[in-house]
């Protein structure tokens, strides 16, 4: 009797199998781009540009890397430093100012606070172009356009990412009011309450915010396409085009050296992958809390 599985148990086993099949199928779909990027990076120029093999016949990874790194236009150290500097400034600015603003909206109470918040939220609908045109005009007229990537990061220090304010607000709302009252009675200043109580209690949301924001803006081509023109200022995003257009000669059809493009793409992904793998555990823990709180 004990060896025979009960009908309920058998049903559960079948259900588990039914879950694993689509799970694995979609996992393949999700991995495919990355896998293809990696194997294309290994192929020789001839194979990469003429054949779509799933398993490379040639192995030219090191030659490809050498070719990309020694290409005269591809200054990897400089592009990497530029990218890191810009994105550190952006992410830091957004995290600091948006967490402060989110805290203010979550903790303090006064009439019409929600009206202010709804007005802020409504700005998410405004297309970037409506704002971008005058800002571009301003940056060109004042000559700030080419100085230290100011157009790319300056807005981040003014808590302009409303989604981030919203995210922080949702989390800070869960701090029990009594903690804050108690700290006030103990003579803590408001900033100290934020720093010593609110921040430590909500560390996961900072991880989430940093990661989401970094990846989100790293994917964005709008800013770099608009404000980065000098070759010495190029960011990682610009590096792909060097190799995409390597054999371009004016005509509409031209050979794209996918192996070099893939190597350049993989190198450009290094910062993201590093950040993701460092923060992944905390990140995955915290995302399960994003929607529920508040």
Partner 1 sequence: MEKRELNKILKRGYRKEYKYFLWFAGIALLGFVLFYFLPILRTAILSFTDRTIFGADPRFVGWDNYLYALTEDALFKKSLTQSLVFAAGSGVLVLVTSLMLAMLLNAKVKGIGIFRTIYFLPFIIPAFAVGAVYKNILNPNTGLINRILEFFGVANAPLWYVSPQSALLTMILISAMGFGVKMLVFLAALQGIPPTLYEVADIEGASAFRKFWKITLPLISPMLFLNVIMITIDGMKSFSLAFVMGNGSGWPANSTLLFPIYMFMTAFNMPFRLGYAAAMAWLFFLVILAMTGLNFLISRYYVQKDVSV
Interactions with partner 1, residue window 247-286 (CB under 8 A): 256, 258, 261-262, 265-266, 268-269, 272-273, 276, 280, 284
Site for partner 1 in 118-147 (CB under 8 A): 119-120, 123-137, 140
- Looking at beta carbons only, is 219 or 232 nearer to partner 1? 219
Least separation in angstroms between CB 14 and partner 1: 12
107-132 burial code (b ≥16 CB/10 A, e <16): beeeeeeeeebeebeeeeeeeeeeee
Length of the chain: 294
Q: How many residues bind partner 1 (CB under 8 A)?
A: 91
Instruction: Give the angle 115-119-125 at the CA atoms, nearest 5°.
Output: 150
Crossing angle between the packed helical segments 162-172 and 113-122, to the nearest 10 degrees: 140
Site for partner 1 in 167-206 (CB under 8 A): 190-191, 194
- Looking at beta carbons only, is 80 or 157 nearer to partner 1? 157
- Does 149 participate in binding partner 1 (rule CB under 8 A)? no
Of 109, 177, 232, 251, the one binding partner 1 (CB under 8 A) is 109
Least separation in angstroms between CB 231 and partner 1: 17
Q: Both ends of the chain: CA-CA distance in Å?
A: 50
Site for partner 1 in 41-60 (CB under 8 A): 49-52, 54
Of 175, 246, 279, 287, the one binding partner 1 (CB under 8 A) is 287
- Does 20 participate in binding partner 1 (rule CB under 8 A)? yes
- Does 92 participate in binding partner 1 (rule CB under 8 A)? no
- Looking at beta carbons only, is 62 or 110 nearer to partner 1? 110
- The dihedral over CA atoms of 108, 112, 118, 121, expressed in degrees to the nearest 10, equals -40
- Looking at beta carbons only, is 1 or 118 nearer to partner 1? 118
Of 5, 10, 26, 81, the one binding partner 1 (CB under 8 A) is 26
Of 157, 199, 246, 279, the one binding partner 1 (CB under 8 A) is 157
Q: Which class for 153: exposed (0-12), middle (13-18), buried (19 or more C-beta within 10 A)?
A: buried
Site for partner 1 in 203-242 (CB under 8 A): 212, 215, 218-222, 225-226, 237, 240
Give the binding range for partner 1 (CB under 8 A) out of 28-36, 60-68, 70-78, 199-207.
28-36
Question: How many of the other CB atoms lie within 10 Å of CB of 105?
Answer: 19
Of 60, 61, 89, 165, the one binding partner 1 (CB under 8 A) is 165
Which residues lie closer than 8 Å to 46 by C-beta, 6 or more apart? 58
């Amino acid at each position: 009797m004990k060896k025979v599985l009960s009908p309920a148990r058998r049903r559960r086993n079948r259900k588990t199998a039914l879950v694993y099949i689509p799970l694995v199928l979609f996992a393949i779909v999700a991995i495919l781009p990355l896998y293809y990027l990696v194997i294309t990076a290994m192929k020789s120029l001839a194979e990469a540009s003429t054949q779509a093999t799933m398993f490379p016949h040639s192995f030219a990874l090191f030659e490809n890397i050498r070719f990309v790194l020694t290409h005269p236009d591809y200054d990897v150290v400089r592009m990497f430093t530029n990218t890191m500097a810009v994105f550190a400034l952006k992410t830091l600015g957004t995290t600091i100012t948006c967490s402060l603003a989110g805290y203010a909206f979550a903790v303090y109470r006064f009439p019409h606070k929600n009206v202010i918040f709804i007005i802020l939220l409504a700005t998410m609908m405004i297309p970037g172009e409506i704002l971008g045109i005058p800002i571009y005009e301003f940056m060109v007229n004042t000559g700030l356009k080419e100085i230290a990537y100011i157009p790319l990061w300056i807005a981040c220090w003014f808590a302009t990412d409303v989604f981030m304010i919203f995210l922080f607000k949702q989390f800070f709302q869960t701090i029990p009011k009594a903690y804050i009252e108690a700290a006030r009675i103990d003579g803590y200043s408001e900033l100290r309450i934020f720093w010593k109580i609110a921040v430590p209690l909500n560390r996961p949301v900072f991880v989430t915010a940093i990661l989401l924001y970094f990846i989100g803006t790293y994917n964005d081509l709008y800013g770099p396409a608009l404000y980065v023109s000098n070759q010495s200022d190029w960011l990682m995003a610009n590096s792909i085009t060097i190799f995409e257009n390597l054999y371009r000669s004016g005509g509409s059809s031209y050979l794209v050296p996918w192996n070099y493009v893939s190597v350049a793409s993989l190198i450009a992904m290094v910062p993201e992958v590093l950040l993701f793998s460092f923060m992944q555990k905390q990140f995955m823990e915290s995302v399960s809390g994003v929607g529920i709180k508040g």
